[in-house]
């Protein structure tokens, strides 16, 4: 009995010792695996990169890098490179990798600009087509002395054909009749004098012809002049904007051009070319972007950089399309959140004759046109639209386009214009 009892005690002790040893081993193993986990967590990821604070920045070109000592020179490991330089040695950063040279683009050549003064005189010959109607026909008729009713009818027809319109033609013929009977005209030189007087008087206006494109002071701060250029398709808006920029730059003014014609990418490219030629900045949007937003950005840029003038070229739009005209109104309203629009130039193509007048009426209603630019006067015998537009709208013709050349833009001066018409 006692030996059975003794055996029982020995077995119990052995089992207890075995349990104790196993427990100790398990506890130790657990502790090691926990420590190992912490080690993994604390190891910074990505080698030397430790994103504890913000991104550390350093000025370019000043930091030192051991990379210079690496055997490879072109960024690729060379033979034996692995053996010579351990994989975990400092890596080259983006700053150290030399980029291939960008293909050198020829710097745009800034052109010399012809002085604007006396341009009308220089461009007089360009009005030759208009002159052939006015000068030759009218002077021939009037210089012949006493005119019968048929001759007066011819005078009237000549004026109508040159796009002076019915109302203006009647006024001019009435004035001519008065003057001729009062002065007893006998030669074509005298006739020319009378005609010159009457036509010039017909073109006179009390409105200011100067283009409001110079900066002014608002609340003690220089504010650029904001000029909006509008009109139907193809009248010469972009060309005029470019030509006007040249005039300003020639007078040492700084200019921002806004390419708010977002329908045609080519229009913005065209404006950009004009800008490069005079050294002006262009603000343009993506094709199809909101033109009002581009115009706004251009004016903001001009205000922020303190330039003298911001010229905004808008997309061509038919005056008969209400949606497009509304959009133009929006362009002006949005720009005016940034700065007052000082000048709204309506560009009319002189070769379109009477239709130009219709366009002018609608545009004037939508955006308060302040000045007319009559383009392509070099290519028409119908310069007479100048008379009508001004009389009907009470808006002065400020500039005339007399060719496709960069400096073929002249100020509108009634006396010089009539001189050019009569030859």
Ligand X SMILES: Nc1nc2c(ncn2[C@@H]2O[C@H](COP(=O)(O)OP(=O)(O)OP(=O)(O)O)[C@@H](O)[C@H]2O)c(=O)[nH]1
Shortest Cβ 69–ligand X spacing (Å): 60
Please tell me whether 233 is known to bind a ligand.
Answer: yes
CA angle 85, 87, 92 (to 5 degrees): 80
One-character DSSP codes across 117-133 = TTHHHHTGGGGHHHHII
CB 130 within 8 A of CB 383: yes
Shortest Cβ 403–ligand X spacing (Å): 5
CB 180 within 8 A of CB 194: yes
| Nearer residue to ligand X within complex by CB, 215 or 231 | 231
Please tell me whether 135 is known to bind a ligand.
Answer: no
- Residue closest to ligand X when measured from CB atoms: 316
Shortest Cβ 344–ligand X spacing (Å): 15
Please tell me whether 315 is known to bind a ligand.
Answer: yes
Please tell me whether 331 is known to bind a ligand.
Answer: no
Shortest Cβ 239–ligand X spacing (Å): 3
Shortest Cβ 352–ligand X spacing (Å): 12
Name every residue whose Cβ is closer than 8 Å to that of residue 405 and which is 6 or more positions away in sequence: none
Of the candidates 352, 355, 346, 383, the one whose C-alpha atom is nearest the C-alpha of residue 203 is 383
Q: How far apart are CA 222 and CA 337, in angstroms?
A: 17
| Nearer residue to ligand X within complex by CB, 194 or 416 | 416
Please tell me whether 53 is known to bind a ligand.
Answer: no
| Nearer residue to ligand X within complex by CB, 195 or 245 | 245
- Contacting positions for ligand X (CB under 6 A): 231, 233-239, 261, 267, 316, 375-376, 378-379, 401-404, 408
CB 351 within 8 A of CB 380: yes
Please tell me whether 236 is known to bind a ligand.
Answer: yes
Name every residue whose Cβ is closer than 8 Å to that of residue 272 and which is 6 or more positions away in sequence: 259, 282, 284
Q: How far apart are CA 137 and CA 155, in angstroms?
A: 8
Shortest Cβ 252–ligand X spacing (Å): 25
Q: How do strand 221-223 and strand 225-230 relate by DSSP bridges?
A: unpaired
Please tell me whether 378 is known to bind a ligand.
Answer: yes
Shortest Cβ 281–ligand X spacing (Å): 19
Three-state DSSP at 419 gives: helix
CB 158 within 8 A of CB 137: yes
One-character DSSP codes across 174-206 = HHHHHHHHHHT--SHHHHHHHHHHHHHHHH--S
Shortest Cβ 346–ligand X spacing (Å): 11
Count other Cβ atoms within 10 Å, centred on residue 168.
Answer: 22
| Nearer residue to ligand X within complex by CB, 197 or 276 | 276
Please tell me whether 45 is known to bind a ligand.
Answer: no
| Nearer residue to ligand X within complex by CB, 303 or 346 | 346
The DSSP letter of residue 74 is S
Count other Cβ atoms within 10 Å, centred on residue 218.
Answer: 11
Please tell me whether 232 is known to bind a ligand.
Answer: yes
| Nearer residue to ligand X within complex by CB, 191 or 407 | 407
| Nearer residue to ligand X within complex by CB, 267 or 385 | 267
| Nearer residue to ligand X within complex by CB, 237 or 398 | 237
Please tell me whether 297 is known to bind a ligand.
Answer: no
Q: Which residues are annotated as a binding site for GTP?
A: 231-238, 313-317, 375-378
Residues of each annotated binding site: 231-238, 313-317, 375-378
């Amino acid at each position: 009995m006692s030996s059975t009892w003794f055996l029982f005690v020995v077995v119990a002790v052995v089992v207890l010792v075995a349990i104790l040893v196993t427990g100790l081993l398990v506890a130790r193993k657990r502790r090691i695996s926990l420590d190992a986990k912490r080690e993994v967590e604390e190891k910074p990821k990505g080698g030397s990169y430790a994103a504890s604070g913000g991104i550390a920045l350093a000025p370019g070109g000043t930091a030192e890098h051991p990379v210079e000592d690496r055997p490879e020179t072109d960024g690729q490991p060379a033979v034996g490179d692995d053996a010579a330089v351990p994989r975990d040695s400092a890596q080259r950063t983006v700053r150290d990798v030399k980029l291939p040279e960008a293909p050198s683009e020829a710097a745009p050549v800034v052109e010399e600009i012809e002085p604007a003064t006396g341009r009308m005189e220089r461009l007089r010959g360009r009005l030759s087509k208009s002159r052939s109607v006015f000068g030759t026909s009218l002077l021939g008729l009037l210089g012949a002395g006493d005119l019968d009713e048929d001759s007066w009818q011819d005078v009237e027809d000549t004026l109508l054909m040159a796009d002076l319109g019915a109302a203006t033609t009647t006024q001019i013929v009435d004035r001519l009749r008065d003057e001729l009977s009062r002065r007893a005209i006998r030669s074509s030189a005298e006739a020319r004098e009378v005609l010159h007087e009457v036509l010039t008087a017909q073109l006179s206006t009390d409105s200011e012809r100067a283009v409001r494109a110079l900066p002014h002071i608002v609340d003690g701060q220089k504010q650029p002049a904001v000029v909006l250029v509008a009109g139907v398709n193809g009248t010469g808006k972009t060309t005029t904007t470019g030509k006007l920029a040249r005039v300003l730059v020639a007078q040492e003014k700084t200019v921002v051009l806004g390419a708010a014609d977002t329908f045609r990418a080519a229009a913005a490219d065209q404006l950009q070319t004009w800008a490069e030629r005079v050294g002006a900045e262009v603000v343009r949007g993506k094709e199809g972007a909101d033109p009002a937003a581009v115009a706004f950005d251009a004016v903001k840029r001009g205000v922020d950089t303190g330039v003298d003038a911001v010229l905004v070229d808008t997309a061509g739009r038919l005056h008969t399309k209400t949606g497009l005209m509304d959009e133009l109104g929006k362009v002006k309203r949005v720009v005016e959140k940034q700065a007052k629009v000082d000048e709204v130039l309506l560009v009319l193509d002189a070769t379109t004759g009477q239709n130009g007048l219709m366009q002018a009426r609608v545009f004037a209603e939508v955006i308060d046109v302040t000045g007319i630019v009559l383009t392509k006067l070099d290519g028409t015998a119908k310069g007479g639209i100048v008379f009508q537009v001004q009389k009907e709208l009470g808006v002065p013709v400020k500039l005339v386009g007399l060719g496709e050349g960069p400096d073929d833009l002249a100020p509108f001066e009634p006396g010089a214009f009539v001189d050019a018409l009569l030859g």
